[in-house]
Amino acid sequence: MPPNTLSPAKDLRIAAAQLYDGSSNEPLQDVVIEVQQGRVAAITPRQGDVDLQVAIAAPGFIDLQINGANDVQFNDQTDAAAVADIAHGARQGGSAHILPTFITDEGTRYQQAVAAVAEARAGGTPGIAGVHLEGPFLSPNRPGIHPAHCIRPLGSEDMQFLQASAAEGTCGTLLLTLAPECTAAGQIRRLSDAGVTVFAGHSAASHAEMQGAIREGLRGATHLWNAMSPLTSREPGVVGAVLAARQLYAGIIADGVHVDFANVGIAARLMPDHLCLVTDAMLTLAGTTRQFQIHGVEIHRDGNRLSDAKGTLAGAHLAMDEALRNMVQQVGIPLPDALRMAAGNPARAIGRPDLAQIRQGAAASLTFLNQDLDAIGTLADGQLHLTQDTPHVAA
């Protein structure tokens, strides 16, 4: 089987030296995962022939925030083909499932993103768990790299479209990042009741405003520590509200650029079951691009840092397996906990607990790693993807 291609995986026997099944911190040793018709049929001690041998198998990584990859930016090419290309780039870093992310743009262009994801899912593109709309309903005081002239309040037509899209479900999970303080009373509740997963981000909200949003059904926060009101001695802000809440999930960009690893460690230890690794990746991930534009603003890549001429960060050049390694090697988080932050926590955050565990009868959503924690393949929606470094598949 050629590497870096998708192939049907209705029936597979996968030998794993270690299997982290998502329910126990202790890995199962030397087992075979039997996959039939895209589901886990059995997990047994290793014996007999196998189709694939891996060092580590874990629940499939889920990236809740990926703006682009593989030289494709979702805001620049908003169609089903772009979704497939971005998903392919994400797989190189071990993401079995993604939420293609469309950032703040003109008017109602975000509706094209919802339609593109729905079309990609209908067309069988594997690993598309939903769509993430990051804006345009953000705080003008915390725009980050988002085009400030496109930031606007959440209107009645927006509400109708978002509620209908979530209820229809063809786009999968609809994750919406907004600034709670810029919404009208009851809007978050109505969105949440309709099935929209609402996160706070690019927000200057006070702790009191965050508490009100939580009561209305706020589910989490986007890129914790970044583009949000900070934790101070007398005003906890968005950061403090998230760290103190027991029910909120939070994405975090563990690249050492967006958040100091000491702060990543604080979040990981305070919310081990709710912190979600995200890449916030741009088209440079698994691509050749080193500079691009966001609404006419030039963005340059310097190592793993993406920024404009003023130094404003513009997404990240980060893969999920690199984020995982950083959690283990730089932050000192045990591997089972880091794996939960890459898979189980985001699965529960978007209401897909079926993707959080590798067990008999569950959908076969897996990420394969070598001993160095480099991604070597994924399995999602009945499709097996292997990278260039994956050992040869047995005949």
Say if residue 247's pLDDT is above 90: yes
Tokens representing residue 169 in the block: 């479900």
pLDDT band at 10 (very low <50, low <70, confident <90, very high): low
Architecture of domain 61-353: Alpha-Beta Barrel (3.20)
Query: Could you count the other beta carbons within 10 Å of the beta carbon of residue 237?
Result: 19
Looking at residues 101-118, what average pLDDT do you find? 98
Q: Report if pTM > 0.85.
A: yes
Ranges of H-type helices in 51-155: 80-91, 110-122
Mean per-residue pLDDT over the chain, rounded: 95
Residues contacting 289, CB < 8 A, separation 6+: 71, 283, 301
pLDDT of residue 2: 44
Assess whether 79 carries a catalytic annotation. no
DSSP state of 287: S
Annotated binding site for Zn(2+): 134, 202, 223
Closest CA to 336 of 22, 7, 85, 12: 22
pLDDT of residue 392: 47
> To which H or E segment does residue 378 belong?
strand 375-380
DSSP state of 321: H
Report d(CA 104, CA 110) in Å as an integer: 8
Closest CA to 285 of 2, 85, 134: 85
Q: Out of 280, 321, 337, 381, which one is annotated catalytic?
A: 280
pLDDT band at 25 (very low <50, low <70, confident <90, very high): very high
Say if residue 112's pLDDT is above 60: yes
Say if residue 6's pLDDT is above 80: no
Which tens digit of pLDDT belongs to each residue from 123-178? 999 999 999 999 999 999 999 999 999 999 999 999 999 999 999 999 999 999 99
CA 202 centroid distance within chain? 17
Positions of CATH 3.20.20.140 in the chain: 61-353
Tokens representing residue 346 in the block: 């985001």
CATH for 6-59+356-386 (3.40.50.150, 3.40.462.10, 2.60.40.10, 2.30.40.10): 2.30.40.10
Burial class (CB in 10 A: 0-12, 13-18, 19+), 278: buried
Which residue(s) pair with 346 in the sheet? none
Which tens digit of pLDDT belongs to each residue from 150-165? 999 999 999 999 999 9
Say if residue 1's pLDDT is above 60: no
Positions of CATH 2.30.40.10 in the chain: 6-59+356-386
Annotated binding site: 134, 145, 202, 223, 226-227, 234, 258, 313-315
Which tens digit of pLDDT belongs to each residue from 81-109? 999 999 999 999 999 999 999 999 999 99
Q: What is the DSSP string of 10-31?
A: SEEEEEEEEE--SS-SSPEEEE
**How far apart are the two ends of the chain, measured CA to CA in Å?**
10
